[in-house]
Amino acid sequence: MRPVADGGHGVAGLDARVRLSRGAIEVDVSLNAAAGQVIGVLGPNGGGKTTTVLALAGVLPLAQGHVRVGGETWDDGRRRLAPEQRRVGLMLADSLLFPHLRAVDNVAYGPRSRGTDRHRSRERACLELERVGLGDRAASRPHELSSGQRARVALARALATDPALLLLDEPLAALDPDTRARTRSDLAARLTAYDGVTVLVTHDPLDALTLADHLVFIEDGRVTQTGTPAEVLSEPRSAYVGTVVGLNLYAAQGDSHGHVHTATGGLIVTTSPTVGAVWATIPPSAVSLHLHAPEGSPRNAWRLRIASVTMQGQSARVGLVGDVPLTAEVTLESVTALGLQVGQDVWAAVKATEVRTYPR
């Protein structure tokens, strides 16, 4: 985790409660972070992530709640600063660069729009381009830059106004996988040197886990889980979070005998029983698939039906439905050897030692 820094923004960092209605969704989301920290915001489409970001930026007014940054109140439901009055930087999936302007002038547009003179704006733009590794491309126009370079120019523009709050809404979504990986690394390096608060909205778990100090999951307009990446990876607390961190997750009831009874009527056996309302997790890599009932005495074996087979590099994720719905991660050789196909019935086995439970 980054050390807390002041940097002139105030040690209070971000203190916000966003409450508003937008369409059919009622949003009630709290966000808190110290200066210098990155909050990763994740959730399904339509859950309220972008609505929250737009409220922080001042584009959407609060019905109730507050937005305070660096000790300054931006919105309290009564008095509200307009977007241009807020020390906020915004970067979207579409870099939205002016096509007719060179990179340096695109970046200089930010400080120029806030009243800085032309000379100082260009000086600051050159500095920000150097910081994102594009000092040698200052004279290039957007069509002469790669998608990753355009994203870095957009980041430089967002930071050139000295924002107290940096809002990144899916900033890497439009990039191809290779460019995304390189740009993610560049973004991480630049955010390390930024002393304001960053709110990063993303659907990509890797973006969130590698860039953020703290994760916030928003579903149906509400926060369903918060914590450090390590805490969330260890104990997901909703089906969506379980999917994001790559675990099979079940809301269940556990007894003192190590039996876990799922809401779908399935029975899972564990060697570390937790009594009462529990979450139970099974790593996809711990699931083995068989055409016939597995030999020996596995503590967990279920006959399930294949609902999907998705290739991922040198492995495949096999979605299974039945009393205990599962996702299994197997090698491509296993897919071929077993002839796995959608609609086929197979046996899935899991060692009791691979099942983890913790209180709900």
| Confidence at residue 186, expressed as pLDDT on a 0 to 100 scale | 86
Tokens of 264: 């779908």
CATH code linked to domain 246-359 = 2.40.50.100
The CATH fold assigned to 14-239 is: Rossmann fold (3.40.50)
Domain boundaries of the chain, sorted by first residue: 14-239, 246-359
| Confidence at residue 297, expressed as pLDDT on a 0 to 100 scale | 67
| Confidence at residue 10, expressed as pLDDT on a 0 to 100 scale | 40
| Confidence at residue 1, expressed as pLDDT on a 0 to 100 scale | 44
Q: What is the dihedral of CA 199, 202, 206, 211, to 10 degrees?
A: -10
Are the C-beta atoms of residues 321 and 218 closer than 8 Å to each other?
no
| Confidence at residue 66, expressed as pLDDT on a 0 to 100 scale | 96
Low-confidence ranges of the chain (pLDDT < 50): 1-11
Residues 274-315: tens digit of each pLDDT:
899 999 999 999 999 999 999 876 789 999 999 999 998 889
CA atoms of 323 and 115, how far apart (whole Å): 64
| Confidence at residue 273, expressed as pLDDT on a 0 to 100 scale | 84
